[in-house]
């Protein structure tokens, strides 16, 4: 396993180069299967786990509490066996306030909503401090200053370590960065966005309406922040496109139906043949050594998926192999 550092100052953390997505754990999967996946990830050197306070409320028979509560039960069961380096990230903002509600019923990012959500997440996770806390989605009905202040108050109180932002437009991130220059405010040090080797057309929407795909502006923002000494990490969700790289029954959405996709898949197969790795492993390795570096957030449903992903963390592509992948269009 490779590792990297996220954050600065006292809240700085060393995390695995792969992040395990816990969205399915505890909801559509029982405790036994979920615990096995978490244990395997830790055994392989993984230390970074991602969840949210609304996973997976949209699935029949599931509730918004399921993933966080599962992680809380796992933490309690493993106790002293858990490594001190373990980092669990969670999110606020997209939890429905009424059963069966859609986006119109989400809790949002007001000061009161953020404070109440953080308390609920800490209780379900069984932690005194949330290691990394993201606004899950934007809430433009609330002034950005209010959200930044609400999150910063949690950091000042010691109940949150690092702040991040998920699914935010690049200009909103820059505006939040400016606000965070004021005393007592804390900036977003980790960004979570959708990203993978295959790139969708910008003029067509993704079917997953809440997903915000990383743009050139997002990546340029991160490079400039890092160059200025304001270290900013990127976590990429859906890096394997929900199985579409390797499963014939998983279809890419219409946004990926363009000549660049076919060229990139051919390049991916060429590099996979050279390395003896799977398509998935080449994609994950490409992301880890990206400019800027990216931490892939991998959702799994079997321990075999964990093993495949962990092997990718040790795969080092040559400069020529990266050129083949980067120049395909």
State pLDDT tens for residues 186-239: 999 999 999 999 999 999 999 998 999 999 999 999 999 999 999 999 999 999
CA separation for the pair 142, 122 (Å, rounded): 24
Asked whether residue 103 carries a pLDDT value surpassing 90, the answer given is no
User: Is 55 an annotated catalytic residue?
Assistant: yes
Please provide the average confidence, as pLDDT, over all residues in the chain: 96
Sorted by sequence, the CB contacts under 8 Å of residue 72 that are 6+ apart come out as 124, 125, 126
Domain coordinates of the chain in residue numbers?
3-251+278-319
pLDDT in tens, 53-100: 999 898 998 999 999 999 999 999 999 889 999 999 999 999 999 887
How sure is the predictor about 171, in pLDDT bands with cuts at 50, 70 and 90?
very high
Q: How confident is residue 1, by pLDDT bands cut at 50, 70 and 90?
A: very high
Cα–Cα distance for residue pair 311/314, rounded to 1 Å = 6
pLDDT digits (tens, 9 = 90+) for 231-250: 999 999 999 999 999 998 88
Mean pLDDT of 151-167: 98
167/172 Cα distance (integer angstroms): 10
pLDDT score recorded for residue 248: 85
pLDDT at 119 over 90: yes
Residue 7, CA distances (Å) to 13, 58, 117, 146, 162 in order: 6, 32, 22, 22, 7
Q: Which is catalytic among the residues 55, 197, 237, 256?
A: 55
Check residue 80 and give its pLDDT.
83
Quick check: 73 and 66 in contact, CB under 8 A? no
CATH topology of domain 3-251+278-319: TIM Barrel (3.20.20)
93, 135 Cβ separation under 8 angstroms: yes
Can you read off the two tokens belonging to residue 289?
Answer: 């050594």
Residue 99 has φ and ψ, to the nearest 5°, of -60, 130
Write the burial class of residue 92 (CB in 10 Å: 0-12 exposed, 13-18 middle, 19+ buried).
buried
pLDDT, residue 92, reads 98
Q: Which pLDDT value is given to residue 102?
A: 79
> pTM for this structure?
0.96
């Amino acid at each position: 396993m490779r590792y990297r550092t996220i954050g600065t100052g006292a809240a700085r953390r060393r995390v695995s180069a792969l992040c395990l997505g816990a969205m399915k754990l505890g909801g559509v999967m029982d405790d036994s299967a979920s615990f096995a996946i978490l244990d395997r990830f830790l055994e392989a050197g993984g230390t970074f786990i991602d969840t949210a306070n609304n996973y997976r409320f949209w699935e029949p028979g599931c509730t918004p509490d399921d993933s966080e509560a599962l992680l809380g039960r796992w933490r309690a069961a493993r106790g002293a066996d858990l490594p001190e380096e373990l980092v669990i990230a969670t999110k606020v903002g997209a939890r429905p306030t009424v059963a069966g509600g859609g986006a119109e019923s989400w809790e949002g990012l007001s000061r009161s909503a953020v404070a109440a959500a953080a308390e609920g997440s800490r209780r379900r996770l069984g932690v005194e401090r949330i290691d990394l806390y993201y606004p899950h989605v934007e809430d433009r009905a609330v002034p950005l200053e209010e959200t930044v202040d609400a999150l910063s108050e949690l950091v000042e109180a010691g109940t949150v370590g690092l702040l991040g932002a998920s699914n935010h437009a690049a200009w909103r991130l820059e505006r939040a960065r400016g606000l965070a220059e004021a005393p007592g405010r804390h900036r977003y040090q980790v960004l979570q966005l959708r990203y993978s080797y295959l790139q969708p057309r910008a003029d067509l929407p993704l079917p997953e309406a809440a997903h915000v795909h990383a743009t050139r502006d997002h990546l340029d923002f991160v490079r400039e922040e890092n160059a200025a000494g304001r270290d900013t990490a990127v976590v990429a969700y859906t890096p394997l496109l929900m199985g579409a790289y390797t499963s014939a029954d998983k279809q890419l959405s219409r946004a990926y139906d363009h000549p660049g996709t076919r060229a990139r898949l051919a390049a991916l197969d060429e590099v996979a043949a050279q390395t003896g790795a799977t398509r998935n492993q080449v994609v994950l390795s490409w992301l880890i050594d990206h400019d800027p570096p990216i931490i892939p957030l991998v959702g799994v449903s079997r321990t075999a998926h964990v093993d495949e992903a962990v092997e990718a963390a040790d795969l080092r592509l040559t400069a020529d192999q990266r050129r083949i992948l980067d120049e395909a269009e």
